[in-house]
Amino acid sequence: MKITRLAICALVLILALSAAVLADGRYQLTLVNNSQYYPSYNGTIWSSLYSSKDVAIGPVYIRIYDTLMQTTTSCNMLCVDLLGTISWNQTWSADIAYGTPTTVIDSTAWDRVVYMAQHNTSWTNTVSTDDTLTMKIEKAAMQIAVWETIRDGDNWDINKDANMGNFALGSIWGDYSGTIKSQIAAKAYSYYSDAVANAYEGYGSTHGYYLAVNTATQDLLFFTTDFTPPPPVPEVPTMLLGSMGLTLIGIARRKFKRH
């Protein structure tokens, strides 16, 4: 009886600790401060005619620590959340989510975002130590196309004017002639047009993204080429209940053999 009570107490304690871990999110994301992986450009974006913010424009290089499996990986990711902010070397908690993020205007927009990101993969490149001008423009354009699509859906207008909707691209820092901005805008529209022509309903629903536990931090699109959702991993309490159950069965069997 004493052993059984001890096992039950241990189970309660473990479940309490597990619940606390899960509340913080399974994954820890860190924005890596390394010049090799800096976003392509810095610039200004507008969320309305009267509201702007200075941002890094392009995919960000994120280190991912899986607190359950205790493994670390890294890859480029795209921001799908204009409201959340992150800074160099910041670490925040997140979980994998499926379906349409709340920051996206509708499911059709998300289908297009997932399609364009999956079929134009230069933004995932982390091999080059110094991106070419072409690759910088392609990477920045993908982020702009994602922001415009999730904010405005069918209303493509990234110029700051009365028709801009909920997103516009302002100036690119150091681009005094506006040439780089024009190239980014043209490439972004090509991504969007391709997605409009080819993305079908439900395309994005099975593709994941990291949902930040703290709403002040960013939600990020994390897959690379041909991403498919990983098989479901048992939650920590379920795994512990299974192992604890086997332990209790073993205790019961030993007690039975003694009688």
Tens of pLDDT, residues 97-138: 888 888 899 999 999 999 999 999 999 998 877 889 999 999
Residue, of 224 and 74, whose pLDDT is higher: 74
Q: 16: domain range?
A: 2-258
**Cα 94 to the chain's mean position, in Å?**
9
Residue among 87, 40, 101, 166 nearest 158 (CA): 166
Any residues with CB less than 8 A from the CB of 151 and at least 6 apart, and which?
47, 82, 105, 165, 166, 167
Tens of pLDDT, residues 131-158: 899 999 999 999 999 999 999 999 999 9
Main-chain dihedrals φ then ψ at residue 41, nearest 5 degrees = -140, 160
Rounded Cα distance between 208 and 212, Å, is: 13
Rounded Cα distance between 124 and 139, Å, is: 8
Count the domains in the chain: 1
- Give the number of other Cβ atoms within 10 Å of residue 108's Cβ: 20
Band of residue 25 on the pLDDT scale cut at 50, 70, 90: very high
Q: Of the given ranges (11-15, 56-60, 115-119, 151-155), which has the lowest mean pLDDT?
A: 11-15
